[in-house]
């Protein structure tokens, strides 16, 4: 009915084309007119190959397709757009196919959102991997000085009476150094937890000779 057509088809944001059995455009809505970029009078009755000339390859791909739903990519006003393409058969009262209905929906915004979500998901997965590696590193860095403290305090507890004064002093100094190292690790973790961007902190070269000297001292 004309009223129903104007209310529903005419106000659709999706582009709608009706083709007869000879692939001529016999009806279209304002959204379809805007997509083609020509007046409706210049499109009606024209072969689809002519009306859709800018998308020749796509017309060839779907010219004999009676029913399909798929995503396509096409240039529109010199911009690449994503569309949901639906082709449905049009039938008469006797169920004979008398043409096809083509509905095209612009899904570019949705595709952009999907890409953004995929990128964000990949970023979060990478961050989770870094967090796992960081957790292992922190556990190792804290366990190392703790192991030394436990070992030294155990030695002092068991052999305190037999140890010379200089050995006791050396063990106590080693315990002090290990606990100070633990305190530095905790301070570094607190600093790292407060940092959201690398540019927010000042960086400086590491003193590698001092670091290696400390490693050799711990190993000894």
pLDDT at residue 12 above 90? no
Q: Do 85 and 70 contact (CB within 8 A), yes or no? A: yes
Q: Structure pTM?
A: 0.57
| Full strand arrangement of the beta sheet holding 68-76 | 25-28, 15-20, 97-106, 79-91, 68-76
Q: Mind listing the pLDDT tens digit for each residue in 86-133?
A: 999 999 989 999 999 999 999 999 999 999 999 999 989 988 888 888
Among residues of the chain, what percentage have pLDDT more than 70? 95
pLDDT above 80 (res 5): no
Contact 99, 18 (CB under 8 A): yes
- pLDDT per residue over 175-206, tens digit each? 998 899 889 888 888 877 777 666 777 788 99
CB 15 within 8 A of CB 104: yes
**Dihedrals φ, ψ of 53, to 5°?**
-55, -40
Residue owning tokens 């590696």: 133
């Amino acid at each position: 009915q004309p009223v129903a057509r104007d209310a529903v088809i005419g106000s659709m944001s999706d582009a709608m084309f009706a083709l007869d059995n000879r692939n001529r455009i016999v009806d279209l809505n304002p959204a379809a007119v805007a997509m083609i970029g020509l007046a409706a009078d210049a499109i009606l009755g024209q072969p689809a190959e002519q009306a859709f000339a800018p998308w020749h390859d796509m017309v060839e791909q779907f010219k004999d397709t009676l029913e399909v739903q798929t995503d396509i990519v096409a240039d529109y006003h010199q911009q690449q757009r994503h569309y949901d393409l639906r082709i449905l058969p049009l039938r008469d009262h006797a169920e004979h196919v008398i043409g096809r209905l083509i509905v095209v929906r612009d899904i570019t915004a949705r595709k952009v959102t999907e890409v953004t979500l995929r990128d964000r998901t990949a970023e979060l997965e990478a961050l989770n991997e870094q967090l796992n590696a960081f957790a292992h590193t922190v556990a190792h860095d804290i366990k190392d000085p703790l192991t030394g403290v436990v070992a030294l305090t155990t030695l002092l507890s068991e052999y305190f009476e037999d140890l010379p004064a200089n050995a006791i002093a050396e063990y106590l100094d080693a315990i002090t150094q290990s606990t100070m190292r633990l305190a530095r690790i905790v301070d570094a973790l607190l600093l790292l937890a407060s940092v959201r961007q690398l540019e927010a902190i000042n960086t400086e070269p590491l003193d590698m000779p001092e670091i290696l000297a400390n490693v050799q001292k711990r190993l000894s």
